[in-house]
Homo-oligomer: A and B are copies of this chain.
Amino acid sequence: MRNSALGYINGFAVTPPGRYYDKGYRELFAEVALKALEAAGNPDIKAIYVASALSELTGEQLAIGNVLRDYAGLRNIPSIRIENGDGSGGFAIMTALNHLASAGNGCMLVVGVDKPHEVISLKQNKYASYLLDSDYEAYFGATPVALAAIMAKQYMKSYEYKYEDLATWAIKMHERGARNPYAYFKRVAKLKDVLDSELVADPLRLYDVSPFVDGAAALVLCSKPNPNDLAIGVINYGFGASNSYFASRNDYTVLSSVVEAAKAVGPLENFNGVVSVHDTYSIFGVLALEALGLCKRGSALRLLNEGYFDQGGRVMVNLDGGLKAVGNSMGASGVYQMVGVVMQLRGDKPFNGLNAESAMVEDMVGVDQESVVFTLRVVK
Query: Is residue A138 within 8 Å, beta carbon to beta carbon, of the partner chain?
Result: yes
Q: A61-B134, A63-B365, A75-B244 are in contact. List 13 more A-B contacts (CB 8 A).
A: A59-B134, A63-B366, A65-B84, A66-B244, A66-B370, A70-B245, A75-B243, A79-B241, A80-B84, A80-B370, A98-B99, A98-B102, A101-B101
Beta-carbon contact of A56 and B130 below 8 Å: yes
B60 to A134, Cβ gap below 8 A?
yes
Residues of A whose CB lies within 8 Å of any CB of B are 6, 24, 26, 47, 53, 56-57, 59-63, 65-67, 69-70, 75-85, 87, 91, 94-95, 97-99, 101-102, 127, 130-131, 133-135, 138, 239-245, 248, 256-257, 260, 365-366, 369-372
Partner of A63, one of B80, B83, B243, B372: B83
11 pairs of residues in contact across A and B, judged by CB atoms under 8 Å: A6-B102, A26-B135, A56-B83, A62-B130, A63-B83, A63-B365, A66-B244, A67-B244, A70-B133, A78-B241, A82-B83
A67 and B133 contact, CB distance less than 8 A: yes
Chain B residues with CB below 8 A from A131, complex form:
62-63
Question: How far apart are the CA atoms of A83 and B79 in the complex, in Å?
Answer: 11
| Cα-based distance from A5 to B82 in the complex (angstroms) | 25
Q: Which residues in B have their C-beta under 8 angstroms from that of A81? A: 82-84
With A65-B84, A102-B98 given, is the CB distance from A241 to B134 under 8 Å? no
* Copies held by the complex: 2
Check A369 against B76 for contact (C-beta < 8 Å).
Answer: no
A67 to chain B, nearest CB (A): 5
Alpha-carbon distance A6/B104, docked complex (angstroms): 13
Which 4 A/B pairs are nearest by Cβ-Cβ distance? A63-B85, A70-B244, A101-B102, A66-B369
With A60-B138, A98-B95, A102-B98 given, is the CB distance from A76 to B240 under 8 Å?
Answer: yes
Do the beta carbons of B91 and A97 come within 8 Å of each other?
no
Check B82 against A82 for contact (C-beta < 8 Å).
yes
For A76, give its contact among B75, B83, B138, B241 (CB under 8 Å).
B241
Instruction: Assess the A80–B76 pair: CB atoms within 8 A.
Output: no
Specify the chain B residue showing the minimal Cβ separation from A260: B76
Q: How far is it, in angstroms, between the C-alpha of A240 and the C-alpha of B76 when the chains are bound?
A: 7
**Contacts A62-B83, A80-B91; A69 near B244 (Cβ below 8 A):** yes
Q: Give A6 to B369 CA distance when docked, in angstroms.
A: 29
Residues of B within 8 A of A65 (CB): 84, 370
Residues of B within 8 Å of A98, CB to CB, are 95, 98-99, 101-102
- The residue that A61 contacts in the complex, of B61, B63, B66, B130, with Cβ under 8 A, is B130
Residue of B nearest to A97 (CB): B102
Chain B residues positioned under 8 Å from A76 (CB to CB): 240-243, 256, 260
Which residues of B are found within 8 Å of A97, using beta-carbon distances? Answer: 102
Contacts of A256 in B (CB 8 A): 76
Contact B78 A47 (CB under 8 A): no
Partner of A365, one of B56, B66, B101: B66
Instruction: Report the bound CA distance from A6 to B99 in whole Å.
Output: 12
Min C-beta distance of A233 to chain B, whole Å: 15
A369 to chain B, nearest CB (A): 4
CA distance A245 to B101 in the complex (A): 31
Are A95 and B80 within 8 A (Cβ)? yes
Set of chain B residues within 8 Å of A244, measured between Cβ atoms? 66-67, 69-70, 75
CA distance A60 to B244 in the complex (A): 16
Q: Please name all residues of chain B whose beta carbon is closer than 8 Å to the beta carbon of A95 when the two chains form the complex.
A: 80, 95, 98-99
Report the minimal beta-carbon distance from A286 to chain B, rounded to whole angstroms: 22
